[in-house]
Amino acid sequence: MSEVKVPELAESITEGTISEWLKSVGDQVEKGENIVELETDKVNVEVISEVAGVLTEIKAEEGDTVEVGSVIAVVSDGEAQPASNDAKPEKQEEPSKEDAGKPEAKEAKEAKEETASSNERIQATPSARRLAREKGIDLSKVKTQAEDVIRPEDVESAAKPQPQAKPAEKSQPAQAKSNDNPSKPVVREKLSRRRQTIAKKLLEVSNNTAMLTTFNEVDMTNVMELRKRKKEKFQEDHNGTRLGFMSFFTKAAVAALKKYPDVNAEIDGTDLVLKQFYDIGIAVSTEEGLVVPIVKDCDKKNFAEIEQDIVDLAVKAKDKKLGLDDMMGGSFTITNGGVFGSLMSTPIINGTQAAILGMHSIVTRPIAIDKDRMENRPMMYIALSYDHRIIDGKQAVGFLKTIKDLIENPEDLLLES
């Protein structure tokens, strides 16, 4: 017998939520096979079985929060027997063949056969399915309390005999509740663990930092012309990797961080921790919310390597394949609301970092070239949200001005790299 425990996830992660059981009780399990998926604050993690055998017990239901090191399942030696789940109840009825005539045994068997086919299509926790089998309850006739997933308490409620004398009394409150305001329907959904974590972290940042935002605008003319001239050659030289704007802004951020090291810092108690590495988080939007995978060692990588890393991480994020290592250790973050059409925003600092750079839409606007001339130029607003406990306004403005100057003069950015 082997206990399946919640593995060590990461230094800052102490618990997770059971997202989905990939195996059911009675299933054969191979050594190293994934049996359950955990949703953590940052990524989803699949837990494997350390031994081959049969999954004989599940100790935590889907949706339960479990701590690192806790036992969530048991795998026993042996092999799964075909139709073993059906055989056990039948053996309990076999001792005397006269039981076949007993209404209780007959009804239990019929209920079991009926639920075996229909229950597979119903969303229910493993323990709810097990209880339904034991009580001969058809899950398709079970009403849930508040969610789409049937839980054991729902099965217990369905198993209780309903008093005949008070049907009207029970239906009246339900009728009143559903008709409170039928013209204003609502749908109530439980927040996913990821969304709960995002809400908690953003609130913590707002409450625990003195966050301010400063703005500037960048003339994108020169960098756009450079991309236009070089993009085909760049793609040929780097195995199809495209030259985007993110590598320019990432390299500009590294140069600015070197010039203003406090922006690459964080507060730890009464200490200021100055990071002498440049691992840049790139915010990526997914169906489950915003995630920030990290492009490591951006000061040591060229434009093509940064662009390829960003593409790889974005694909992994959308396919839910990000690992914990992809998310840990960032020193500074860049977010690009411009891909969704944002003209200007005040991004919120990521975690314990000191600042975050916000990019926005490129919009053609009339710009004064000098006192006599105006031209239409492709312009982008950029924003730096920063922790005023660490960074003074002069540093913040200087940092953003450095980004502006390097993007407007990309040749200088290449020299900085």
For each of the chain's 417 residues, which pLDDT tens digit applies?
788 888 877 656 778 888 888 888 888 888 888 889 887 766 778 888 888 888 988 988 888 888 888 898 998 887 766 544 444 444 444 445 445 445 544 444 554 554 454 544 566 766 677 677 777 788 777 777 655 667 777 777 777 765 554 444 444 444 444 446 778 888 888 887 777 877 888 888 888 899 999 999 999 999 999 999 998 999 999 999 999 999 999 999 999 999 999 999 999 989 999 999 999 999 998 887 788 999 999 999 999 999 999 999 999 988 888 887 888 889 999 999 999 999 999 999 998 999 999 999 999 999 998 999 999 999 999 999 999 999 999 999 999 999 999 999 998 887 666
| Residue 125 exposed, middle or buried by CB count within 10 Å (0-12, 13-18, 19+) | buried
* 300 contacts: CB under 8 Å, gap ≥ 6: none
pLDDT tens sequence across 82-92: 544 444 444 44
Farthest-apart Cα atoms in the chain, separation:
106
pLDDT of residue 206: 87
Positions of E strands within 1-86: 2-5, 15-21, 28-29, 34-39, 44-48, 53-58, 65-67, 71-76
pLDDT of residue 342: 94
Q: Which residues are catalytic?
A: 388, 392
Other CB atoms within 10 Å distance of the CB of residue 244? 17
pLDDT tens sequence across 259-294: 999 999 999 989 999 999 999 999 998 887 788 999
Phi, then psi, of 248 in degrees rounded to 5? -65, -50
DSSP string over 271-310: EEEE--S--EEE-EEETTEEE--EE--GGGS-HHHHHHHH
pLDDT of residue 408: 96
* 255 contacts: CB under 8 Å, gap ≥ 6: 402, 406, 413, 416, 417
Q: Whose CA is closest to 363, among 382, 335, 346, 385?
A: 382
Positions of E strands within 68-113: 71-76
Whether the CB-CB separation of 289 and 321 falls below 8 Å is answered with no
Q: What is the pTM of this model?
A: 0.64
pLDDT of residue 29: 87
